[in-house]
Amino acid sequence: MIGIVSYLVFFLTMGFVLSIAVLGLNLQWGYTGLFNGGVAAFFGAGAYGVILFGGSNKAGQLIGFGLPYPFAVAGAVLLAGLLAWIVGLITTHLRHDYLAIATFGVAIAVENFARNAEPITGGAKGLRGFERPFETVINDPFWFNLAYLIFVFVVLIIVYNILENIGQSPFGRLLRAIREDEVAAQSLGKSPARVRLQAFIFGSMIMGLSGALYATFYAFISPQDIVPILTFQIWSMLIVGGSGNNKGAVFGTLIVWAGWVGSGWVLTQFAPVEMQLYIGTIQFIMIGLIIVLTLLIRPKGLLPEKLIISRSVARVKPE
Amino acid sequence: MKALIFGLTAISLVALAPGLSYSADCTTKVGAVLPTSVDWGRPIAATARMAVDLYNKAGGVKGCKVELILRDTQVDPKVGVDAAKALVDLDKVPVLIGAVSSGVSMPILTSVSVPSNVMQISCCSSSTVFTGLAKDGKTKGLWFRTFTTSRNHAAVAAKIIKAKGYNNLVIFYKNDDWGQDIGKLVKADLEALGVTVKASIAINDGQPSYRAEVVEALKSNPEAAYVALYPKEGIATMREWISLGGTQNLVVANSLRSEEFRDSVGIKYLGKMVGHDSAAPRTAAAASFTALYKEAFKKEPSGPGLPNIFDAVMIALLAMEASPTLSGDVIARSVSKVTDPNGTPIFPDEAGIKQASALLSQGKTIRYQGGTGAVTFDQYGDVSAPGLSWNFSEKGIVELDYITSEDINEFINSLKK
């Protein structure tokens, strides 16, 4: 019994960490219509950032500031934001598929930087993290994992609430206006380019936060953690959950992540021994099926976007 | 009729039961997290299964059948970690076999194995970060790998290159933790020996062409080339290298010990090629890992990591046999009983495993001699083994020279001066 609880704690921790990145993407795609194909880059900036700022200076390593944990996380988020600012200045005037390709390229560049800039990132062998905060105080793996789950959950709630508030604020309406019709928004005296950049940077910082929590939990980061499949995973979570809906983003993350890893567990339990070698491959087919079926049955996601004009006006039914 | 079938089945079951060497309701679970969905990962997983089957044929661990629960990592750290956590928490395995990539093995070690007190043994993770972690006491002695350290391999490579008399060369290395490591080590060793390394070229996975890299290497007009790549990139790179007139004086790493590489590049271009690898010990009585593999799969073991995973599984199972209780830390401490240099030499074929079980249950120690040789771990879970050089023939792989562990260590020490 304790085994099941212990596993669930672990599962939910990773689920919530990924949810935060999905919420960041929801701000960019769901609210603003920015197609960020480089989620892994900003996630990676946060993940490497927290270890570089929080870790100690090891042999052969140029950077390692050993900052206290909250500052390390703040540094990681700012690093992701800085990357997004630079990328955004160059690319946010690009639309849709062009932006997607450009940001995808950025993600590949970041991954290759991590793989090769050995003095900074440890290269392909990866970078060891620091002692996880409070681990020695709690000194019991189960209770530490539970405490970390609660911490991640609190962060998720905070991010969720901020995004919900943005969504219902005038700024949120502006984001959606730009998503729906940029020229119309411009004609009302708004500056789409600036607003898109803001949404891009803020969303990327949230992804960076997710990456920071991820690297803290594993106390290790390597280029393997930020390969393009991560971007695909985050996207499928948002699309399955329902883009434009924060609840959907979190819900979709848990569903897709459960399907992603759960399919492997189910298969090992029930598949005959001689099939076990092929389970990994079948698992990929099942993952694809889950995503495709959800999209066929619920094209707008499990929890579709709710159109809200304003908090003070009654909700509009989506057509 | 039904009753008759039922009766016959019951009788035959009773009649067969004493023939089984373990009771049917007693199983011992062992977890494996390997990239089964990846082309080079599946043979590794199949070899792990072969080792378990062999062990079961010899009677299982403490008379119990071993059940290998195999999970796919997808080479994705978070998927691998989740699979490992599920194996430890839901299936209660005391030992984890895996993973292959260091980037997956490492988070499994830090966030699953060490906190949950589970022994972890990998076939192929080569990153030096593990040694650092062990030196800081963070692995609690739970971590082992049967992948001979890159230090060892690099020394063998440098020795072979020096013996060939090449004065200068270029290095192609796979741009991952293993490749960066071995590329750098070989370069340092060669420079210490006075061989000029004209260029070190990183080869990234999955590029459609490596012409730019090859042209870069050709510019320096080297006498020879050292190639530390996996078959897929190795084939693509070497085809372009040879077609553009690069030298056929090749020295290649053990990762290219694959017939796919020989056939795809063409053996007529590989006549001057020589490879390095870790070696099995030269004991006459021991049936080789190759023979066992051929018997199980009806083909040559070719591809990276196959003898290593065989040894990883066997050492884990023998350590379980030697361990008084089946908890991870006790099993990990029992590994030394299996790899004792003063113990009785054992090769893990069916008879060998039976003999090993008998010796271990009497409290004696054995010296395991498997696919990668007489494996001995240092206090950080790293392994060193004798080396050999090899090349291809029409039929398969021919082993040329044997280099003892002592020679390798002496060579490494001589470089330090």
Q: Where are the domains of chain A?
A: 2-226
**B175 CB within 8 Å of a chain A CB:** yes
Q: What percent of chain B has pLDDT over 90?
A: 44
The answer to whether A126 contacts B180, with C-beta atoms less than 8 Å apart, is: no
The C-alpha angle A85, A225, A97, rounded to 5 degrees, equals 50
pLDDT at B176 > cutoff 50: yes
pLDDT given at position B83: 94
- CA B179 to CA A243: how far, in whole Å? 41
- CA A7 to CA A14: how far, in whole Å? 11
Note whether residue B20 is domain-resident.
Answer: no
Residue B129 near residue A124, CB atoms below 8 Å: no
- CA B93 to CA B10: how far, in whole Å? 33
Count CA atoms closer than 13 A to A194's CA, side-chain side: 7
Q: Which residue of B has its CA nearest to A229?
A: B76
Note whether residue B203 is domain-resident.
Answer: yes
DSSP A315: P
Pair B404, B351 in one domain: no
Pair B128, B177 in one domain: no
For residue A278, which residues of chain B lie inside 8 Å, CB to CB? 36
pLDDT given at position A314: 55
**A210 CB within 8 Å of a chain B CB:** no
Pair B264, B173 in one domain: yes
Cross-chain CB nearest to A220 (options B89, B92, B110): B110
| Number of domains chain B contains | 2
pLDDT at B156 > cutoff 60: yes
Pair B397, B350 in one domain: no
What's the domain range around B247? 150-272+391-416
pLDDT at B25 > cutoff 80: no
Pair B340, B230 in one domain: no
Pair B47, B161 in one domain: no
| Mean pLDDT on B82-90 | 94
Across chain B, what does the average pLDDT equal? 85
Helix or strand (DSSP H, E) at B403? strand B397-403
Backbone angles phi, psi at A239, to 5 degrees: -65, -40
pLDDT at B281 > cutoff 60: no
CATH number at residue B198: 3.40.50.2300
Pair B165, B204 in one domain: yes
| Mean pLDDT on B146-171 | 88
Count CA atoms closer than 13 A to A207's CA, side-chain side: 33
Note whether residue B3 is domain-resident.
Answer: no
- When scoring A14, A56, A58, A277 by the number of chain B Cβ atoms within 10 A, the one with the most, hence best to mutate, is A277
- C-alpha torsion angle, residues A146, A147, A152, A156 (rounded to 10): 90
Residue type (1 letter), A33 = G
Q: Is the dihedral of CA B55, B56, B59, B64 positive or negative?
A: positive
pLDDT given at position B350: 87
- CA A278 to CA A264: how far, in whole Å? 11
Pair B303, B244 in one domain: no
pTM assigned to the model: 0.85
pLDDT given at position A69: 92
Cross-chain CB nearest to B107 (options A124, A220, A260): A220
Shortest CA distance to A267 belongs to which of B83, B178, B358, B184? Answer: B83
| Mean pLDDT on B384-396 | 82
pLDDT given at position B161: 92
Note whether residue B333 is domain-resident.
Answer: yes
Note whether residue B6 is domain-resident.
Answer: no
Longest CA–CA span in chain B (Å) reads: 84
Other Cβ atoms within 10 Å of B135 Cβ, number: 11
For residue A118, which residues of chain B lie inside 8 Å, CB to CB? 180
pLDDT given at position B18: 40
Positions of chain A with pLDDT lower than 70, given as ranges: 57-62, 92, 308-319
ipTM attached to this prediction:
0.90
Residue B400 near residue B388, CB atoms below 8 Å: yes
Q: Which two tokens stand for residue B89?
A: 């928490």
Shortest CA distance to B138 belongs to which of A163, A132, A29, A41? Answer: A132
**B79 CB within 8 Å of a chain A CB:** yes
pLDDT given at position B417: 57
- CA B150 to CA B130: how far, in whole Å? 12
- CA B24 to CA B6: how far, in whole Å? 19
Note whether residue B355 is domain-resident.
Answer: yes
